[in-house]
Structure 1
Amino acid sequence: MRQTQHFVFILVKEFSHLAFSCAVEPLRIANWVAGEELYKWSFLSEHGEQAICSNGSITLVHGGLSPVPKCDQLFVLSGINMRNHVTKPLLAALRRERARGTSIGALCSGAWLLAEAGFLDEMQAAIHWEYHDSFMEAFPEINLVRSVFVADEKHMTASGGTATADLMLHLIERDHGNDLSVAVADQMVYNAVRNATADQRVSLQSRNGMRNAHLAKAINIMTKNIQSPLSPSIIASDIGISTRQLERLFGKFLNTSPKKYFMELRLERARNLLLQTESSVTQVAFACGFESAGHFSRVYRAAFGITPMQQRARLD
């Protein structure tokens, strides 16, 4: 009889129900397939009675944050609006558990909470792709990766949704072998299990049904140079083709020009920063490669029909 591992999940208000299910169900199925209690789990919330997830459903919990029961693995699980739920009692509980030597990880947007607690400095971390821009602005000292999960750091992180299932299957394989992990995935009818290095979002090649290495390299260069945009001629030179060839590739596969596509990338980054950070419009403008706030505002309004200030005001 193998020793039962105890997983504790701190459910933060507006947590992701999808990530929650993907965290717990693999553990339950592992017990069923193995015919023994390999895992048990407890749910906690700040107030100790229930937790409300982002879809409005209510989950009863086993207790509050003081004390957190002794466990083998503690995960903090949050979802939307996680910055509004970073409370002193939650941070205090996490810090107490770290001092006690508890293994602490985060699911979905939970990496934001660990970052606020100061746990992830100089480490790799994963968070849901929607929060990447604001996370990098808020925590530049953390090495944010686009992988579905990070399991080889002191604090494990998963980017949410089915990435949580990927992490759990990884832990099952680590603790009990590949055969059990595969059997659990089969029971979940989950035949696309990803390893930690898989990207969160479907690749550009898959989304557009193409396999053009030059186009992929060009977009990668654009993505890495949002703050200091490069001209199409420089991008073309960097990947070893002519500007005319680059124009043809963007026209053929994306029905746009390199210049327009690059501007769309910059504006998408700008909108994320306006919605997810407290940065001023001027700061956002410079972070996205615009020479002035006035020019940024004009381009933004032409693209989205509202000014950056109006975009920010919609949050109030």
Structure 2
Amino acid sequence: MTRPQHFCFILVPEFSHLAFSCAVEPLRIANWVSGEELYRWSFASEDGAQAVCSNGSVTLVHGGLADLPKCDQIFVLSGIHMRDHVSRPLLAALRRERARVTAIGALCSGAWLLAEAGFLNGMQAAIHWEYHDAFMEAFPDVNLVRSVFVADEKHMTASGGTATADLMLHLIERDHGQDLSIAVADQMVYNAVRNATADQRVSLQSRNGMRNAHLAKAIQIMADRINDPISPAVIAEQIGISTRQLERLFGKYLNASPKKYFMELRLDRARNLLLQTESSVTDVAFACGFESPGHFSRVYRAAFGVTPMQQRSRLD
């Protein structure tokens, strides 16, 4: 019998309980289905006593950050407000474990904490889609991907929720074979297991009941050009249709013109940056393709009923 792998989960305050369950339960089920102790796990928190997740549940832990057990894999698991929980003890513990050559990964918003520690520069990483805009602004040297998880980098990352189960099933398959991974998924009644290349959010086609490749391509071009917008005519030319055809597609499926939809994408990105980063209003304006802060402020107020400065002041 091989030595069981020991996973240590560092639970950061307000961590995601869904991601936590999706991380631990596949390991437990793998032991049960196989009849062997393939995995062990332990929990740690900064105070060494307990951790409170975002839904208020309290989880008792095995120890603190200063005395993490010797293990095969550490996963940092956080959730909402992760930037409020970037502490010196946490960063020190992560750097100490890296010096011990312990494998370190992150779940849900945990990639933010690894990036703060400087672990992810030059690497691919996954984080919950809600934090994409802020993450890209804060950590431009990290190659953020939209995949549900990244397992082939030095530091594994999963985007949270059921993506954590996808990563764990991937690891079970890697270490103990596909049959066991499938058996664990069956016990979880999980019949939609995704590989690492799957996108986090449901595809545009699924969300809108569409199968129109031209529309999907047009929206992808818009998403890629938020900081440097181009006209609907140029987008239409790039995907090989007329501007009028593009207008009809957006009207039919999205009840909006291409210009209006593009502006909504840019404003949504701006709102995320205002709420999730410390970037100045001017920097947010330019990052979202507005020629001046004044123009940005007028358009933003028309869309959301408050100016960018008022939006940010609501956080105080």
Q: Does 2:16 align with 1:4?
A: no
Equivalents in 1 of 2:315, 2:34: separation in Å? 49
Task: Report the alpha carbon displacement of residue 48 of structure 1 after superposing the two structures with TM.
Answer: 0.1
Partner of 2:258 in structure 1?
A: 258
> Is the partner of 1:120 in helix, strand or coil?
coil
Q: Does 2:136 align with 1:140?
A: no
Equivalents in 2 of 1:310, 1:190: separation in Å? 44
Equivalents in 1 of 2:218, 2:76: separation in Å? 38
| Residue type at the aligned position of 1:152 | D
Q: Does 2:47 align with 1:29?
A: no
> Is the partner of 1:160 in helix, strand or coil?
coil
Equivalents in 2 of 1:68, 1:49: separation in Å? 13
Partner of 2:112 in structure 1?
A: 112
Equivalents in 2 of 1:72, 1:282: separation in Å? 45
| Residue type at the aligned position of 1:194 | R
Equivalents in 1 of 2:153, 2:260: separation in Å? 39
For structure 2, the residue ranges without an aligned partner over 5 or more in a row are none
Partner of 1:86 in structure 2?
A: 86
Task: Report the alpha carbon displacement of residue 66 of structure 1 after superposing the two structures with TM.
Answer: 1.1
Q: How many residues are matched? A: 316
| 1:153-168 matches, cutoff 5 A | 153-168=153-168
Task: Report the alpha carbon displacement of residue 22 of structure 1 after superposing the two structures with TM.
Answer: 0.3
For structure 1, the residue ranges without an aligned partner over 5 or more in a row are none
Equivalents in 1 of 2:314, 2:20: separation in Å? 30
Equivalents in 2 of 1:96, 1:121: separation in Å? 18
Task: Report the alpha carbon displacement of residue 23 of structure 1 after superposing the two structures with TM.
Answer: 0.2
Partner of 2:100 in structure 1?
A: 100
Partner of 1:130 in structure 2?
A: 130
> Is the partner of 2:222 in helix, strand or coil?
helix
1:240-289 alpha-carbon deviations (Å, 9 max, x no partner): 11100000000111111000000000000000000000001111011001
| 1:225-240 matches, cutoff 5 A | 225-240=225-240
1:182-204 alpha-carbon deviations (Å, 9 max, x no partner): 00000000000000000000000
Percent of aligned positions that are identical? 85
Task: Report the alpha carbon displacement of residue 3 of structure 1 after superposing the two structures with TM.
Answer: 1.8
Q: Does 2:210 align with 1:174?
A: no
Partner of 1:218 in structure 2?
A: 218
Partner of 1:297 in structure 2?
A: 297
| Residue type at the aligned position of 1:204 | L
> Is the partner of 1:179 in helix, strand or coil?
helix
Task: Report the alpha carbon displacement of residue 2 of structure 1 after superposing the two structures with TM.
Answer: 2.6
Q: Does 2:43 align with 1:43?
A: yes
Equivalents in 2 of 1:50, 1:79: separation in Å? 16
Partner of 2:312 in structure 1?
A: 312
1:216-235 alpha-carbon deviations (Å, 9 max, x no partner): 11001100000111000010
| Residue type at the aligned position of 1:7 | F
1:164-219 alpha-carbon deviations (Å, 9 max, x no partner): 00000000000000000000000000000000000000000111111111111100
Equivalents in 2 of 1:310, 1:240: separation in Å? 42
> Is the partner of 2:249 in helix, strand or coil?
helix
Task: Report the alpha carbon displacement of residue 162 of structure 1 after superposing the two structures with TM.
Answer: 0.2
Equivalents in 2 of 1:57, 1:51: separation in Å? 8
TM-score (norm 1): 0.99
Deviates more, 1:132-141 or 1:302-311: 302-311
| Residue type at the aligned position of 1:190 | Y
> Is the partner of 1:182 in helix, strand or coil?
helix
Partner of 1:287 in structure 2?
A: 287
TM-score (norm 2): 0.99
Equivalents in 1 of 2:315, 2:53: separation in Å? 20
Task: Report the alpha carbon displacement of residue 83 of structure 1 after superposing the two structures with TM.
Answer: 0.4
> Is the partner of 1:59 in helix, strand or coil?
strand
> Is the partner of 1:248 in helix, strand or coil?
helix
> Is the partner of 2:185 in helix, strand or coil?
helix
Partner of 1:273 in structure 2?
A: 273
Equivalents in 2 of 1:282, 1:94: separation in Å? 35
Structure 1 outlier segments of 4+, above 6 Å: none
Equivalents in 1 of 2:208, 2:223: separation in Å? 17
| Residue type at the aligned position of 1:284 | V
Q: CA RMSD in A?
A: 0.5
| Residue type at the aligned position of 2:278 | E
Task: Report the alpha carbon displacement of residue 305 of structure 1 after superposing the two structures with TM.
Answer: 1.2
